[in-house]
Structure 1
Amino acid sequence: MPKKDIRALSLPQLTQLFEEISEPAFRAKQVYDWLWAKGVVEFSQMSNLSKKLRDYLEENFAINAVQIHELQVSSDRTIKCAMRLHDNYVVESVLIPHQERMTACISSQVGCSLTCKFCATGKLKRMRNLNADEIFDQVVLVKNTANDRYEAPLTNIVYMGMGEPLLNYAEVLKSVEKITSPTGLGMSPKRITVSTAGVAKMIMKLGDDKVKFNLALSLHAANDEKRNKLMPINETNTLENLAEALLYFTEKTGSRPTFEYIVFKDFNDSLQDAQELVDYCKRVKSKVNIIEYNSIDGGEFQQTSTSRLLAFTKHLDSHGIICNVRHSRGKDIDAACGQLANKNKLISPELK
């Protein structure tokens, strides 16, 4: 029988386990601290436990740790990390250095099921959801990479890597709890942004759960016909559905969403498109991040011209919409937004 992943156990469950084997309850807190606050991935490193207890844990449990399989460093200092999971699937995470910030972009699924036309990950199959501990491990490994390579602490986390976070809702929220808990990494939830392609009912659930992290919506068109072409999920989660869900989210959490908008040449970059975005932002109070399009293999879109981009952003500004242009990072190593395709074909080379 495969060993049970010890990180799937809550602190109360660990406490009960130790009581059953006649160990004092405080041992559970010690193990929990090793796992989540210190990020230890081997029982042998839990130095304040007896050898007998460490041997018991080794015989009965596993720590299904994520490992860095490969690092690629961009000319702009962005680092892409291929992360190998315990079952040899590989996901990708990115460290994005920018002025005073060090941001980890992390994945929530192996592959993706949403088939967004501009995203390389959308061309992959969804193999499985990541567990909370696998998401947590990505953050720890990227955090360690920031310290080792740039001697800088990790400041921000974005769930914008491979997969749709809200289709892995429970594990994503568990991972946020571990990352923000004083018994975990102790990061502020305001330093975390979860990005969704737009699952209306789950956005409303975020409101019901009164989450403290930031929410971003991959919008890319404020017109159902165009958004349907870009993102098939819009056919069942229309702009009207999403507006209602986002308004509910804001009412419950007091937090306004951010709209992510990739500007494609001759598709969604006209002044009419800009006005449609203005109208949508007037309805759902928000700010907008304009994102450069990053080409992908077999992609059908192109980046808009500088002049069209400037006219688009000026139109938003003139109508009082808070708008920031996000320039691509890590494009030369396929680490930029939409480029995470995992060219290892989702398995480590040893298994090809």
Structure 2
Amino acid sequence: MPTKRGCASKFTPAARHWRQRYSFGGKDKMLSLGVYPAVPLLLARERRDQARALVAQGIDPSAERKAAKDADALTFEAVAREWLARRDLAPATANKHRWLLERHVLPVLGAKPISSITAADVLAMLQALEGRGLLETAGRARSQVSGVFRHAVATLRASGDPTIALRGAIKSPKVRHFAAVTDPRKLGDLLRALWGYQGGFVVASALKLAPLVFTRPGELRHAEWAEIDLDAATWCIPAHKMEMRAAHIVPLSTQAVAILRELYALTGCGRYVFPSPRSTQRPMSENAVTVALRALGYDGDTMTGHGFRSTASTLLHEQGYPSDVIERQLAHKESNAVKEAYNRAQHLPERVKMMQAWADYLDDLRKGADVVPIKRGA
């Protein structure tokens, strides 16, 4: 390349960088043109010519590049990814949020400077989702966009949240509850079907354990042997796996311990209690229990993996157990911030008795007993 003073270029063999020397405002400066061989000679010369043209127009190429980088950092996508990375979410939840963002939000708003996005821009995106019948997706997308803007306001990159003006602008989806069996006689039929499952032993064990512990499906399938003390009959789920980000203790009934001891002989040498059949380094698929329920003849309108929680909640409330004890075992969010900080073992003695009584009750139903009350622990 030419080496004329004020507009020289050179190739540094050791660093393998293309650099452009130039003078601007009476000062000597250096501009990087890229790294060889990713940037070949012809492209380096093209970038050199572009830098020369900017200097001739009285524009500092370095300042122009910095301004472009700053503008990129202020796009909705850049702020959104930063917002998502800073959120304290369980891995599965983070993946769902990322999928929604990348599938529905970023293709529309991602390239726009966040300060230029108006309520009309967001509304157009939401109405497009509404027009496709994706009302629930539209609601989650509005919530995500609002979260990104609140983060942008807090970091001085936006002056307000345009989604505030859009509350009620699109239809609300009908509230959907997870299908669950709550009639004791039908629950007995379900339990017999679960115990008669002829599929893989790992999935069969998960089906038997799910009604006994009634955790969220993701918490069950991500269970690790290191979290379970079979001698103490406890399963301690760490905070990062919980939806509410608080550690949770699951007392294990004698029936649950028996199922886990049998399973330990098969999967106890690995990390996960319910490993994937393809790799012991991953838990079983999030669809494994659902597929098994469908194979047993239970469709999505009758029973779901999440439905075991509704089953337990409904019947335990009907049997007169204190709501605080049931809600704590369900690991629902504590409204009192002080109580939340200490709720890991809250009501634990009562919960231990309740979980054993619940397991005994399920055993009675599975064995064909008529509707029976749950036997309270002493």
TM range (shorter): under 0.3
Task: Report the TM-score, using the length of structure 1 for normalisation.
Answer: 0.26
Q: Indicate the structure (1 or 2) with the bigger Cα radius of gyration.
A: 2
Greater relative contact order (Cα < 8 A, sep 6+)? 1
